[in-house]
Amino acid sequence: MKIASHEVVAKREERAVLVSLVSGELRRQAELAAYSLQELVLLAETAGLEVLETISQNRETADTKWLIGKGKVEELKALLLAHDANIAVFDQELSGAQVRNLEESLDVKIIDRTQLILDIFAQRAKTREGILQVELAQLSYLLPRLSGQGKNLSRLGGGIGTRGPGETKLETDRRHIRERIAELKRQLQEVVRHRTLHRERRRKSGIVQVALVGYTNAGKSTLLNRLTNADVYVQNQLFATLDPTSRALKLPSGKEIVLTDTVGFIQHLPHDLVAAFRATLEEVNEANLILHVVDSSSAMREEQMAVVAEVLEELGAHQKSCLVVFNKTDLIPANEQELLAATGDYIRMSAMEDADLERLKLLLQSRLSGHTLTFRLPAARGDLLALLYRVGDVIAQRTSEENDMLEFDVSINDEDYAKNGHLLVPFVVTATA
């Protein structure tokens, strides 16, 4: 697939050819393989590379020495020369030996998908926690690939794959890296301790927490901004958001909850990165409800949802109650919208439509308010009435014929009710789930 012509006058510094090996199961799923490569193009562009061409090879298994076959290496070499490219990016993770062999044969910088993602994260990291996490992930990735490499890593030079907080450390030896990893873990633990205290306070205050999760570019930050007037960076690119942002959201009932935006997921998310970002993603584990935001207009919607489910499982958050938000419905025809469905609760909407945002808030409200109870109170008990309005949302109200008793159907906030509702218990007449 040809991407750019030779006529490009102003050459960017890092000119890349992207390479993909289609092997094993993937050979029978051509669409998936093509999508992965297409995503690699986006990742490369997000990282600031100029993508000149992509090539892929169909092969039963990976070659241990070069990943791709010997013949394909020759083809790639000619291509790199023709384009005057100085970097080859592989869609599959490479071993240290494969990187060295490819570098020797091709005489360009070699990086893989994992390094590309780590590089984007390194460019994006802004908070102390984010920076520490990215460096930890970079070094964890690097360490097992150092073996047999001898003296140092100077071959990497600067630029892609070496940017960010890990950069200066790449020149150091394994022992040094191990020490640095231990130090980073210590510092992260300290940050995590602070976050935990903060979260504890929030939990004790009884505020309901909702986390936005989803594939990168699904529209999580857009939703946070539109719902809460936050000012989070929104871009039509991968991994626009790195650090979690929490904002208060007022539901139509007047009740406030906390909504948190999180880093997007992607297929083949480097394991080291998931591990390093575990602390950030703890927000997800703490949430009372997860909003799984889906880009309905993506042809790979189902696959992206599966990736999100996988990462949630890895985080141990797959059992949490979840509401699927099929976002961006404005981008697809009405008859296709009907196909959007998920097991469990879901809503089809567009973050661009005010009416849809209101529907989402109402849905959140009913999902978060637990169950419904009916109370019958003496009309004279103003104290109990006030309490009742505090522990839930009144859905319906009736007055007895004699006007001395009031009946309420109330959508109960379980936590509030457990804490403050004991005075109301004698007045419950029916309970529905």
Ligand X SMILES: Nc1nc2c(ncn2[C@@H]2O[C@H](COP(=O)(O)OP(=O)(O)OP(=O)(O)O)[C@@H](O)[C@H]2O)c(=O)[nH]1
Least distance to Mg ion, CB of residue 216, Å: 8
CB of 360 to ligand X, least distance (A): 11
CB of 61 to ligand X, least distance (A): 33
Q: Does 166 bind ligand X (CB under 6 A)?
A: no
Residue 246 binds ligand X (CB under 6 A): no
Q: Which one of 19, 106, 234, 294 is in contact with ligand X (CB under 6 A)?
A: 234
**Residue 221 binds Mg ion (CB under 5 A):** yes
β-pair type (256-261, 109-112): unpaired
219 lines the binding site for ligand X (CB under 6 A)? yes
Task: Show contacts of 297-306: CB within 8 Å, 24+ apart.
Answer: 297/328, 297/331, 297/332, 298/215, 299/35, 300/32, 300/35, 303/32, 303/35, 303/267, 304/214, 304/215, 304/218, 304/267, 305/215, 305/342
Residue sitting closest to Mg ion (CB): 241
Q: How far apart are CA 168 and CA 139, in angstroms?
A: 11
User: DSSP class of residue 2?
Assistant: B
* 8 Å CB contact between 245 and 259: no
Q: Which is closer to ligand X, CB of 265 or CB of 375?
A: 265
Report the residue from 57, 92, 162, 221 that binds ligand X according to the rule CB under 6 A.
221
Beta bridge partners of 390: none
Find the binder of Mg ion among 36, 57, 162, 241 (CB under 5 A): 241
127 binds ligand X (CB under 6 A): no
x/- letters, 320..359, toward ligand X (CB under 6 A) = -------xx-xx------------------xxx-------
**H-run or E-run covering 309:** helix 301-314
Binds ligand X by CB under 6 A, chosen from 132, 218, 377, 412: 218
CA 79 to chain centre: 35
**Which tokens sit at 171?**
């020149």
Closest CA to 259 of 210, 202, 201, 324: 210
End-to-end CA, the chain: 57
Token pair 């097991």 is found at 343
The CB-of-107 to ligand X minimum distance in angstroms stands at 34
- List the single partner that 235 binds among Mg ion, ligand X, none, CB under 5 to 8 Å by kind: ligand X
In this chain, which of 154, 168, 236, 432 binds ligand X, going by CB under 6 A?
236
Q: Which residues bind Mg ion (CB under 5 A)?
A: 220-221, 240-241
Give the interface with ligand X as residue ranges (CB under 6 A).
214, 216-222, 234-236, 238-241, 264, 327-328, 330-331, 350-352
